[in-house]
Amino acid sequence: MIPVFIGFDTRETVAFHVLSHSIHSHATQPVSIAPIMLSQLGDLYTRDINPLQSTQFSFSRFLTPYLSNYEGWSVFMDCDMVMTEDIAKLWAMRDDRYAVMCVKHDHNPIEETKFLGAIQTKYQKKNWSSVILFNNARCKALTPEFVNTATGLELHQFKWLSSDDEIGEIPIEWNHLVGYNQPNPDAALIHYTLGGPYFDEYADCEHADTWQKAFDAMHVVEQRRQKAEAA
């Protein structure tokens, strides 16, 4: 079983469900998917809303190892994505030499805002934490207490690890940043980090058609057809 945690934001509920469906529809191994949803975390997550956080799961994503009982490996990903490949291929990249694995983007945004007017923050290792393979037993520093009190940079820049040598790298096609990375028709995991095609402003972005096809596929219903009785 591949355990996947997806950040959930009530302002883009459709994104979670389309991503979940796209993962399942391409998977060749069993997958369990859980939302990291603030309404389900109760006292585990007590941080106040930070004006710089662009999503409701900006910091709660780092509860993934705790929610996994610090056992085995888990996958975290933002909800504003769509999968076009078999997640088993990503899962096979796990390497016990590392505490976490991610795409090591060199992401330096120039715009000041993104979807829903969210402030576009700029920092080293930006978007590294939008897809993470967690080697949970080596992430015990991520206690609920630490996640609730650490600064955003301490969390997103992986300062809770002893060194950057504990961060392994996965190929860039497993976190393709629409609007930043060179267009890639073969991207395995597409990330609409500026805003998904479900927002009017980004309806014509790269891979908008890919997301729309995944959305349409999620709505397929096979209706029962009654055979006409012979006259």
**Residue spans per domain, the chain:** 2-218
Domain 2-218 in CATH 3.90.550.10: yes
Comparing C-alpha atoms, which of 180, 182, 53, 192 is closest to residue 110? 180
pTM greater than the 0.85 cutoff: yes
Residue 229's pLDDT band, with cuts at 50, 70 and 90, is low
Structure confidence at residue 223 (pLDDT): 77
Write the pLDDT tens digit of every residue in 165-185: 999 999 999 999 998 889 999
- What is the SS3 assignment for 119? strand
Strands 2-7 and 31-36: parallel
Q: Is the pLDDT of residue 85 over 70?
A: yes
Instruction: Give the mean pLDDT of 77-105.
Output: 97
| Range of lowest pLDDT (73-82, 113-122, 211-220) | 113-122
pLDDT bin (cut points 50, 70, 90) of residue 120 is: low
Arithmetic mean of pLDDT over the chain: 90
CA 2 to chain centre: 15
